[in-house]
Chain A
Amino acid sequence: QSVLTQPPSVSAAPGQKVTISCSGSSSNIGNNYVSWYQHLPGTAPKLLIFENNRRASGIPDRISGSKSGTSATLGITGLQTGDEADYYCGTWDSSLSAVVFGGGTKLTVL
């Protein structure tokens, strides 16, 4: 059971937009910055978003992050087949004194 809650899967057609939610609490998302990672099987995870909404180097502006209260959202527009991957949110949890992650969301581009 992950500390942060993500939907197991989302899907959308090529060219469409998708959002992935990440829900937590005041001890983690509510008072700490959120980061997002893309993970293709067999490869190293890749940082997409840090500090809630800042894109990592080389990440296109069709990928965005936002945070409101104890939830965060990753948005991807102009979906491409290459976006099919698992996506994880992560943040520091002040109560646990640990970095925590969501369980991951599998994105399927239909």
Chain B
Amino acid sequence: QVQLQESGPGLVKPSETLSLTCTVSGGSLSNLYWSWIRQPPGKGLEWIGYINYSGSTSYNPSLKSRVTISVDTSKNQFSLKLTSMTAADTAVYYCTRVGPYSCFTYWGQGTLVTVSS
């Protein structure tokens, strides 16, 4: 059974960069796409971006200027960097495995990131 686990700081200061890592167990990153999705408190889901095992990416245009997603196949991990954090970036961040036609088949438990000084 594939499992995903997010890790990273729960608190980030305004203007700083968020760095999160997703560790995948029970399966390989190979030949698949992986994604980050977030949910601000009391709001709906927002797609952040994709990466595949070879490092090819696609980002949400609304976040593209601030987002970098990378992959480390040797560690079976992929990561998210989001720069210039503001209070509007406070959210639960999920890492997911992408299935057919942009569905999300496996999800991590999510990690709450709060932006505050």
Contact with B along A47-67 (1 / 0, CB 8 A): 100110000100000000000
**Tally of A interface residues using CB under 8 Å:** 26
A-B contact count (CB 8 A): 68
- Selected contact of B60 from candidates A32, A43, A98, CB within 8 Å: A98
The contact of A97 among B35, B44, B61, by CB within 8 Å, is B61
Within the assembled complex, what's the spacing in Å between the Cα atoms of A36 and B24?
23
B102, A33: Cβ atoms under 8 Å?
yes
Bound form: Cα–Cα A97–B45 in Å: 16
Q: What range describes how many residues of B lie at the interface?
A: 20 to 34
Q: Are B107 and A44 in contact (CB under 8 A)?
A: yes
Would you give 23 A-B contacts (Cβ < 8 Å), ordered by A? A32-B101, A33-B100, A33-B102, A35-B102, A35-B103, A35-B104, A37-B45, A43-B109, A45-B94, A45-B107, A47-B99, A47-B105, A51-B101, A51-B103, A88-B44, A88-B45, A90-B102, A91-B102, A92-B102, A99-B60, A99-B102, A101-B45, A103-B43
Q: A44-B109, A47-B103 are in contact. List 12 more A-B contacts (CB 8 A).
A: A35-B103, A37-B104, A44-B108, A45-B45, A45-B94, A50-B100, A51-B101, A88-B45, A90-B104, A98-B61, A100-B47, A101-B46
